[in-house]
Each structure stands twice: as structure tokens, then as C-alpha cells.
Structure 1
Amino acid sequence: MLGKLGERYISFLKGRSDIADYFKVFIGCNDILKPLVETQKLVTALDTFATEQQMGVESRGEFLERAHQFIIQLPKNTPLSLTALANHCWPDAPSALTATLSREEFSLSDGFVPDRRAAKGLVNFEGKSKFWKLNFSRTAIKNGDVEYDHKNQRIILTNIPDDLREELLAETAENEDDES
């Protein structure tokens, strides 16, 4: 398969076995495409496209969800065609999306096998600090289970699971007892 700028990639070496490593060394191949890195670059490129197209919140979510569905519906170890992705996600003007995906700043390679975990970045938000970790989907925002308070820079969670609610109640009740 041809990659960007006419670079050639060997796409038959998909496994992580000693035999695959032996053949890579034998033919002088530095390394095969790293699915995680390539998928992260793809997520960034799709997000950039959505921003540049000035998509509203709902259309942006639908666009990124279409891309995610396309990726996860590929049979396992199937290379991703950027042209097919563009045709599926932006059917009215796929060349506009293809132009963004082929920009040098993203250096995306056509024909890499996407990492499904990294593709979740299209539909999930994730963040962490020294004291907490949070992961939620765009659907949670759409359904109102997660709200962002711009003014106070706070995230508000609703419909939390009973077990978590009970843990929080027990923890805060203990802290209130300590303060008295």
C-alpha cells in the first residue's frame, strides 16, 4: 500500500511474534506502523476538521460518532482506508475531509490498522488530576448525565450509580462527624 509522499509500508506484518520480528530485521524494515499513534493522529485530525467546519455541538457529535462506528465495525486487523472513512463520514464533500486527513501536520498513513481503544477518543472525554480520574461519553452530555458549568468551571454528574452514591454519602457523613 502507498502511504503519504509515496512511502511504502509492509502491511502483512501485523503480529507481534518472534517470526514477524525476524522478517522485519531480515528485510531491513525499521518498524511497522504503530496503530495507537496513528489512531491518535486520526482522532486529532477528525477533531480539527470538525472545528474548522464550525460544526455545532450536535453535528460534531454525530460526525465523530460516525467515524468511531466506521472504525470499530472494521473486521479485526483490517487496514483503514482514509478515503473510505471520508466517504462514510462526510459523504457530501469527502474531498474536504480527505484534504484535512492528508495534511502534513498530521502525517497520517493510509492503510494502518486502527487501535480501537484509541478510537474511543472520538466519543469519550477523559481527564485526570492528582486526586481523581474521569471518563464519560458524549452521550452522557447529550442525555444530561454530565453537565459542564462554564462559569464555575465545574463538572456536574447526575444519575450516579447507587453504590457510588452510598460510598460518597458514607464518606461525607464521616467527614462531617470529624468536623463536629
Structure 2
Amino acid sequence: MSIHVEQAIIHSISQDKDGQLSCRLRPQPLLNGSAVEAIVAELHQIYSAKAGKGFGYFGISGDDGEANPAFMDALRGYTLGKQGFVDFSAIAGKLLQQELSKYDFSQGGFLLLACYTYLTSDYLFVALLNAKPSMTVLDDMELSQNTHLDLANLQLAARIDLSEWQSEEESRKYISFVRGRAGRKVADFFLDFMGCVEGVNPKAQSKQLMQAVEDFVAESDMTKEERQTCRERVFEYCTEQMDSGSEVMLKDLADELAESGMDSFYDFASGGDYELEEEFPADKATLRQLKKFSGTGGGVSLSFDGTHLGERVIYDPVSDTILIKGVPANLKDQLDRRLKGD
């Protein structure tokens, strides 16, 4: 993995016996080059693999609420060379402490800030990490208890694409952040301390893309097989982009379809009411519906490939029933054994 770390630092935010939070600032950047490269590379990989991330930008006071510009101003001062990385990080640490102090659920953690280059882009990684107890065996076979940073359980983290922020002022997606379970942000305070406002919604954009694809094939003279091929090609392209950490490019996607004989998708998708961005991060779980149908409810779960609809799987909306031809062997075995038992 080609990562070059420019600067990295860790500050500690802890709670005293009276429940007050304080920020212990490190006076200089982390010095152990190999250890720093290793931890940033691991965090980059863990973060990139996180599904369902949100995307946003630095808000202006009064834009979608009262966004605090202090973090943005300090970061701009650092990128313009008006202040050092340590000074910028100290401002960030104090801002996070102040934001955390508004709530009674936090016990703090370790604030890691790292500026690094990956491929052709510069990034600032921001994460609040927790420490986790662990056991190790010493040379004399004695057990020793210590603590280590819990990198695997990365929940409060954001990554700012500094290159995009500086070159595209109108972008609304240069900040990405980890979302919590069930599609919610783990904690709004983490975005509030950075003054981040949510911008492009990957799930909403993916739903609009799916609708554009369905309308496109419905209005074409494609055969059933060609329609499914179109859906699968869209899914494959988007998956390739997501796996490489890239965004979906509407024009490139249209060119991919044109190579398969499916012309004019770009004009169709960009000229309709789909409100699709030219470039946007996609949501794989949403786009998977191009290939599969699935649903759960009332104790029943059902999933099948889209190619089976109308053939092995017959849906009757009038009677609200689904007929499955060719029951999967393992399910058939379970059903046969139950029937014999009854």
C-alpha cells in the first residue's frame, strides 16, 4: 500500500474523578516513522473497507444549522503554512474536548490526526480511538496485562480529502465519515466539532441511479436477457469503483454501457428528474438490488437472483403470493424431514 505520512500526532482526552474532561496535548509530532506508517496504513485500510460511509463538507455558519468554522479555519491555516501541524492539532484537541463536554456519555479517548498522501491525493485522517486491555506472554512465560489502541473497532473517524477541498470549492463530499449502525451517525458531536455538514448521500444517489437504470431498460426495446445484462453491468462497474476507493462517474458508466450496445444512457440519466451528481460515492447494499431481490418480515426471509423472476420465481401481486419452482436442495431436505416427522 503506497502511503506516505507527512505528520501524525496523538492527544489524550480523559475524564477526572469529578467527571470533568481535560485534554493532554502532545508537544511534538509522533517520531517513530515505521510505527506511524504502520498504524496509519492499517487505519487507512480499515477505514476504506467500512461500508455505508457518509459524505459532507465544511458548513458555513447558518448553512444547514450553526456550523462551527474553528476547525476549518485552523486546518486552512495549516495547509497555507500560516501555522504548524502541532498548533493546528492542539486547536482540534481543544475543540473536541469542548464538544465532548456538552454530553455526559463520553469518557474521552485518544485523538489521532494524520496527514498523509495516498496515490495522488492528500488526506487528513481524524479518529477518536479507545484503549483496550490485553494480555501478553513475556520471555519468562509470565503473563503481563497492558493496553493497546483498539483499531479494529473504528467508530469515530473521518477523512478529509485535502486535494479535493482545495481544488473544488463547490464540492459537497470531500469529507467522509463512519456512520453508525442502522444507517445513523455514531455521534453527531464528532461531525459538530469539525463543523462538517452532510452533503452527498450515497444511498440516495444509488437509489436514483437504480431508478434511472430501470426506467432506461423499460423504455428500450431490449430483450429480457439484455435488460438483466444492463443491470448487472451497472452493478459490476459500481462495485469495481467502490472496491478501488473511487466514485461512480456517470459519464464513464454510460460509456461502459455503450460498449455493450446500450447507447444514450448518459443523456437519459442526466436529462431526467433523477438529480444524479456527475460523480458520487455509491452504496453497494442499495445497488445489490439490481441483481437480487430480498426481503424479511413476519418470520420469513427470501432472496433470489433477478434472473429467476418470471421463470423459477413467479410473483402474483393480485393474490400477494410467490411461487418457487425448483426448491433449493438443502431447503427441500429440511422440509421433507419436517413433513415426515409430522
| TM-score above 0.5 | yes
The 5 Å alignment of 1:79-158 reads 79-91=247-259, 92=261, 94=263, 96-128=264-296, 130-140=298-308, 146-148=312-314, 154-158=322-326
Alignment correspondent of 1:21: 191
Alignment correspondent of 1:31: 198
Please, what TM-score do these two structures have when normalized by structure 1?
0.73
Distance (Å, rounded) in 2 between the aligned partners of 1:9 and 1:155: 48
**Structure-2 change in CA distance of 1:53 and 1:8 (3 Å):** farther
**Structure-2 change in CA distance of 1:149 and 1:93 (3 Å):** closer
SS in 2 for 1:158: coil
After superposition, the CA RMSD in angstroms is 3.2
SS in 1 for 2:266: helix
Q: Deviations over 1:41-72 (max 9, x none)?
A: 11111111010113211100111111111111
Is residue 168 of structure 1 aligned with residue 330 of structure 2? no
1:79 counterpart letter in structure 2 = E
Indicate the structure (1 or 2) with the bigger Cα radius of gyration. 2
2:314 counterpart letter in structure 1 = Y
1:34 counterpart letter in structure 2 = N
Structure number having the greater strand percentage: 2
Q: Deviations over 1:87-144 (max 9, x none)?
A: 10133564x21122114521112211111111111111224553522111134459x6
The total of aligned residue pairs comes to 163
Is residue 45 of structure 1 aligned with residue 212 of structure 2? yes
Distance (Å, rounded) in 2 between the aligned partners of 1:172 and 1:48: 44
Alignment correspondent of 2:226: 59
**Structure-2 change in CA distance of 1:32 and 1:119 (3 Å):** same
Q: Which runs of 5+ in 2 are unaligned?
A: 1-163, 180-186
SS in 1 for 2:248: coil
Q: Deviations over 1:4-32 (max 9, x none)?
A: xxx9333321223889724762xxx5312
1:12 aligned residue (174, 194, 202) = 174
**Structure-2 change in CA distance of 1:132 and 1:104 (3 Å):** same
Contact kept? 1:126, 1:135, Cα under 8 Å:
yes
Distance (Å, rounded) in 1 between the aligned partners of 2:211 and 2:173: 23
Contact kept? 2:213, 2:231, Cα under 8 Å:
yes
Distance (Å, rounded) in 1 between the aligned partners of 2:193 and 2:274: 29
Distance (Å, rounded) in 2 between the aligned partners of 1:21 and 1:110: 25
Please, what TM-score do these two structures have when normalized by structure 2?
0.41
